[in-house]
Structure 1
Amino acid sequence: MKQITIIAAIAAAVGIATPAHAEKRCGWISNTMPSDFTLSDRDGGWKIATIEWQADGFEAMPSTDKGDTCGCVTGDTDKATHRFTRITGGNLLPTKICNADKSLKF
């Protein structure tokens, strides 16, 4: 019985440590740093960084120039605040992909 309790405790701890909202989101990446770095997809705008704050793992963001770029960002999100809390990767896409996607609001 004690072994089952220990296994359950480990499983619970792993469950808590595993991000609940890890996902890949694609759309328009807007880089107006130092004020804002956001991604706009079919679900709205997602903050990646602001002048006061940036998501953990921000260095994993794909390199962008100032302005708007089409791309994907992978990481953990907080749906209540529409923020990426941790970035695990990303990639840039040709702008024609975002231009062709009618679900993206730009």
Structure 2
Amino acid sequence: MKRLLICALLALAATGADAAETRCGWLQNPTPANWWLDDSEGTWTIMTQGGGNEPDGIENIPDISEGDYVRTNGNYGYACACMKVETDTDEERIIAIHSFRQLPISQCENDSALSAPE
């Protein structure tokens, strides 16, 4: 039994996937099917158009334009958000989204650890 547990843990470690964690920052959707999150640790790709890389739970992100939101390109733009996610740190990707909470823009604007969206 102990050997089986060790093998399972090693297999999980080999995927590069981390346990679920909360990440907060600028959620950006500048163009169709392009999403990323900029937090205090860097930029996390959620998905890219034509990339075939939609994470599990993408449906947990609602229409962000219904909350506090900055429109930058027609129906596209950015918001401030916290998400409970699983990441692949090697690829700097979000691979699963468990929950989503949109925050006031001012919360990200006032966070000195975050750079303003471009």
Where on the TM-score scale, by shorter chain, does this alignment land: which range? 0.7 to 0.9
Q: Give runs of aligned pairs for residues 37-56 of structure 1, distance below 5 A.
A: 37-51=35-49, 52=51, 53-56=53-56
- Aligned residue in 1 for 2:100: 90
Q: Distance in 2 between matches of 1:84 and 1:64?
A: 18
The size of the alignment, in residue pairs, is 100
Change (3 A) 1:63 1:14: farther
How far 1:63 sits from its partner (Å)?
A: 2.9
- Moved segments of 4+, more than 6 Å: none
Identical residues among aligned pairs (%): 30
CA RMSD of aligned residues (A): 2.1
Q: Distance in 1 between matches of 2:107 and 2:26?
A: 10
- Which structure: larger Rg? 1
Partner Cα distance (1:72, 1:62) in 2: 13
* Unaligned stretches of 5+ residues in structure 2: 66-75
Structure 2 match to 1:73: 83
How does the TM-score come out when normalised to structure 1? 0.79
